[in-house]
């Protein structure tokens, strides 16, 4: 028995098996309150073969037509690969930001390999299912009965059932769209990760129940009401709000969502002028309150009641016992002027008597520090008293002693994302109803992050999340990173000609020698181009920090598509294509292989690599990648000084030397690398 590891620290066979199952089927595995492993057989069956799962689908709530297929769809094998687009990227060799062009379900399946439990925060603004036929997303999931049956794979016997359920097609289609994406999102979150999801009234009820199932009802934090202050009145009422659902990955961990104390610059300037000119404090208060209401309320900063003689802003904090089920102490407090006891709160005081006496500067029953304020009230230490004993005292907190406030469940932030885009693009609007950076920055900054934490947005839209992250990094000198996913959706020329012409212009600059008709056919304008252009332009304005991005496009793995065909369905074109792919790849193809091997080896897409032997041997992090025929001597010589190398990955389809493959185990032993660190891929 090997003594290299402490036996006590070794995992049991059961623990190892549990970890393996959890990685592959996280939603089917759990540990109960007694520490026992629990397997949900129906969820496990849905992951393997949904047709055999016994899922009730005749009710509303968490059950809908197509649920089991949607669950299974989250974990079916993905035959898509990533193609690096270096020419379209910015600062490729330096940046750690990632933008993925393609369907977000495909992207999430790929990311699950190398970003499993690695994302600190997810923000998404998914389709609201409003039946709007806008160019941004086709978010109307109401389809014909025939199409619904075809997409969900049901027999014709379901036709009456579907037709007779009010709204079933709308909600079922939308839920089937969101379910697999949120399941994968859960897997990507770190143990202390959080997710914010924007939504409006159309699917709010359904989304809340769906998220309770996926993330756990116990991990629900809040439904934040976002007051946009721009009403829509299509239902006879001035609707000025949307919702943001907030869930954490594990509520047993400590979370605190905070808001920065911002928006008080005008107040600070006024305070300086007031102090210099010695304006009467009563007049100062009136001006300060106007500015405070204008600037601070929208930020959720409610801690302000008055000024002291040094022009410091302070706020009152209630001192009554907060818990309705229990009671605090009920000692008597004498008013500092009348010497009459103030009214005791119904549930007693928040503080113990000694704590109150210390805050009020009371020694041997005597107030040692009494200041009468301009309005007739009193301040004793850090305790405020009204003019008489009829009002309960409050503790005092000075605003300049506070850097953060708890994130509010109601956010009043103007929906000015469209204005922001117009400023970026010389007064032109290319995107419908983008979220504002102010809102996204508020959400991101509320999460306590470590250096290099990653934020994921797989409904990137106009790229607001990336813009907000770059601005925040500049403001607080941090280094948050982002991964964005945006569908390569065609822009409808009729419905948004301005955006269509804008992207067409970008195409003509990039491909000046292609005629317009051919250009639009080969490279039609898509939403992704606006996403990229916005992030690029915002980065130019910010001009500091990591303003670059690596772009990857999701493409079909043609080799896998052929392999999945049965022999009778393979044609001559398939054989020709397969033979062509087996030929020596060019450097572009090699890089494509390399980054997909990063995914397989769970390396981030931002990982830097060295080319040790041109077109053949690469080193990234602690993994050496062999992508072409080399000799054993070349391998050993190239890696002998690379102490960081712990693993060897061989891309088998590119290796034609059988002798090299047979001898590689003995050869890497010269480098101190054991055979269990050797992997063959492809």
- DSSP annotation string for 14-29: HHHHHHHHHHH-GGGE
- For the segment 470-492, the average pLDDT, to the nearest whole number, is 93
Distance CA 106, CA 170 (A): 23
Structure tokens at 584: 């020596």
pLDDT for the residue 139:
44
Check pLDDT > 50 for residue 520: yes
Mean pLDDT of the chain: 83
Residue-wise pLDDT for 31-78, tens only, equals 665 666 677 776 777 666 665 666 555 544 578 777 877 888 888 888
Distance CA 619, CA 506 (A): 36
Residues 6+ apart with CB under 8 A from 653: 582, 682
Between the ranges 12-16, 121-125, 340-344, 520-524, where is the mean pLDDT highest?
121-125
- For the segment 24-36, the average pLDDT, to the nearest whole number, is 67
Distance CA 570, CA 576 (A): 11
Of all residues in the chain, the percent with pLDDT exceeding 70 is 80
Best CA proximity match to 671, nearest among 634, 650, 645:
645
pLDDT for the residue 2:
37
Run of H or E residues at 244: strand 239-248
- For the segment 496-507, the average pLDDT, to the nearest whole number, is 90
How far, CA to CA in Å, does 124 sit from each of 107, 198, 435, 457?
A: 14, 6, 11, 5
pLDDT for the residue 574:
57
Between the ranges 74-78, 306-310, 539-543, 554-558, where is the mean pLDDT highest?
539-543
Check: CB of residue 210 under 8 Å from CB of residue 176: no
- For the segment 419-424, the average pLDDT, to the nearest whole number, is 90
Distance CA 620, CA 598 (A): 8
**Which of 347-361, 507-521, 533-547, 571-585 bottoms out in mean pLDDT, i.e. has the lowest?**
571-585
Alpha helices in 511-586 (DSSP H): 516-522, 527-542, 558-563, 572-581
Q: How confident is the model at residue 286 (pLDDT cuts 50, 70, 90)?
A: confident
Residues 6+ apart with CB under 8 A from 341: 332, 333, 334, 335, 389
Distance CA 594, CA 2 (A): 35
The phi and psi torsions of 162 (rounded to 5 degrees) equal -65, -45
The strand pair at 80-84 and 550-556 is best described as antiparallel
pLDDT for the residue 3:
37
Residue-wise pLDDT for 172-231, tens only, equals 778 888 999 999 999 999 999 999 999 999 899 999 999 999 999 999 999 999 998 888
Residue-wise pLDDT for 596-646, tens only, equals 999 999 999 999 999 999 999 999 999 999 999 999 899 999 999 999 999
- Per 3-state DSSP, the chain is made up of helix, strand and coil in percentages (nearest 5) of 40, 20, 40
**Which of 181-190, 225-234, 280-289, 498-507 bottoms out in mean pLDDT, i.e. has the lowest?**
280-289
Residue-wise pLDDT for 192-206, tens only, equals 999 999 999 989 999
Question: Regarding predicted confidence, which is higher, 165 or 504?
Answer: 504
Residue-wise pLDDT for 121-154, tens only, equals 999 999 888 765 342 334 444 555 555 555 555 5
pLDDT for the residue 168:
41
Check pLDDT > 80 for residue 476: yes
- For the segment 365-382, the average pLDDT, to the nearest whole number, is 91
Q: Which domains does the chain have, with CATH numbers?
A: 1-39 (no CATH), 43-259+411-489+526-553 (3.40.50.150), 303-402 (no CATH), 589-681 (3.30.750)
pLDDT for the residue 134:
40
């Amino acid at each position: 028995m090997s003594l290299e590891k402490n036996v006590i620290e070794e995992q049991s066979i059961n623990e190892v098996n549990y970890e393996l199952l959890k990685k592959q089927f996280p939603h089917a595995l759990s540990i109960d309150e007694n520490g026992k492993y629990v397997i949900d057989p129906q969820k496990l069956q849905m992951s393997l073969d949904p047709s055999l799962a016994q899922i009730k689908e005749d009710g509303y709530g968490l059950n809908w037509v197509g649920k089991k297929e949607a669950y299974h769809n989250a974990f079916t094998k993905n035959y898509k690969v990533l193609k690096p687009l270096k020419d379209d990227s910015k600062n490729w060799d330096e940046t750690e930001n990632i933008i993925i062009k393609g369907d977000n379900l495909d992207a999430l399946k790929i990311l699950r390999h190398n970003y499993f439990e690695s994302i600190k925060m997810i923000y998404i603004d998914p389709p609201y299912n409003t039946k709007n036929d806008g160019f941004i997303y086709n978010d109307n999931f109401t389809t014909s009965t025939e199409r619904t049956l075809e997409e969900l794979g049901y027999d014709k016997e379901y036709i009456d059932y579907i037709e007779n359920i009010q709204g079933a097609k709308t909600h079922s289609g939308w839920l089937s769209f969101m379910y697999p994406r949120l399941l994968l999102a859960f897997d990507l979150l770190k143990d202390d990760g959080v997710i914010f999801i924007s939504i409006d009234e159309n699917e709010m009820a359904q989304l809340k129940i769906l998220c309770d199932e996926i993330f756990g009802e116990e991990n629900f934090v809040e439904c934040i009401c976002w007051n946009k202050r721009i009403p829509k009145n299509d239902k006879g009422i001035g609707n000025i709000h949307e919702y943001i659902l907030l869930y954490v990955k594990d509520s047993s961990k400590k979370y605190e969502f905070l808001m920065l104390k911002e928006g008080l610059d005008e107040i600070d300037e006024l305070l300086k002028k007031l102090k210099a000119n010695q304006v009467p404090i009563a007049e100062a208060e009136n001006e300060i309150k106007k500015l405070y209401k204008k600037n601070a309320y929208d930020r959720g900063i409610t801690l302000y009641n008055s000024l002291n003689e040094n022009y410091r802003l302070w706020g009152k904090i209630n001192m009554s016992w907060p818990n309705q089920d229990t009671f605090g102490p009920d000692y008597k407090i004498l008013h500092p002027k009348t010497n009459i006891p103030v009214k005791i709160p119904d549930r007693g005081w928040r503080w113990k008597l000694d704590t109150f006496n210390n805050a009020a500067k009371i020694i041997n029953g005597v107030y040692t520090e009494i200041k009468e304020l301009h309005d007739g009230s009193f301040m004793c230490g850090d305790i405020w008293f009204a003019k008489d004993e009829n009002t309960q005292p409050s503790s005092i907190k000075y605003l300049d002693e506070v850097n953060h406030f708890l994130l509010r469940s109601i956010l009043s932030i103007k929906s000015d994302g469209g204005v922001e885009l117009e400023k970026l693009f010389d007064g032109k609007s290319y995107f419908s109803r983008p979220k504002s950076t102010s809102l996204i920055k508020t959400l991101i900054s509320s999460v306590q992050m470590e250096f290099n934490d990653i934020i994921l947005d797989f409904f990137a839209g106009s790229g607001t999340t990336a813009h907000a992250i770059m601005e925040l990094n500049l403001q607080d000198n941090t280094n948050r990173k982002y991964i964005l996913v945006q569908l390569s959706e065609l822009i409808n020329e009729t419905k948004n000609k301005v955006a269509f012409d804008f992207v067409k212009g970008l195409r003509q600059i990039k491909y000046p020698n292609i005629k317009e008709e051919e250009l639009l056919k080969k490279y039609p304008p898509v939403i992704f181009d606006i996403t990229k252009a916005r992030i690029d332009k915002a980065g130019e304005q910010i001009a500091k920090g990591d303003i670059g991005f690596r772009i990857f496009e999701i493409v079909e793995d043609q080799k896998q598509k052929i392999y999945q065909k049965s022999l009778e369905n393979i044609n001559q074109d398939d054989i020709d294509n397969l033979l062509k792919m087996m030929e020596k790849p060019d450097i572009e193809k090699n890089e494509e292989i390399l980054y997909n091997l990063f995914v397989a080896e769970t390396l981030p897409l931002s990982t830097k690599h060295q080319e040790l032997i041109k077109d053949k041997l690469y080193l990234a992090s602690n993994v050496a990648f062999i992508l072409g025929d080399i000799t054993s001597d070349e391998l050993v010589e190239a890696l002998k000084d690379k102490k960081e190398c712990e693993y060897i990955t061989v891309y088998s389809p590119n290796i034609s030397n059988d002798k090299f493959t047979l001898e590689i185990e003995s050869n890497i032993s010269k480098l101190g690398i054991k055979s269990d660190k050797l992997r063959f891929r492809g």
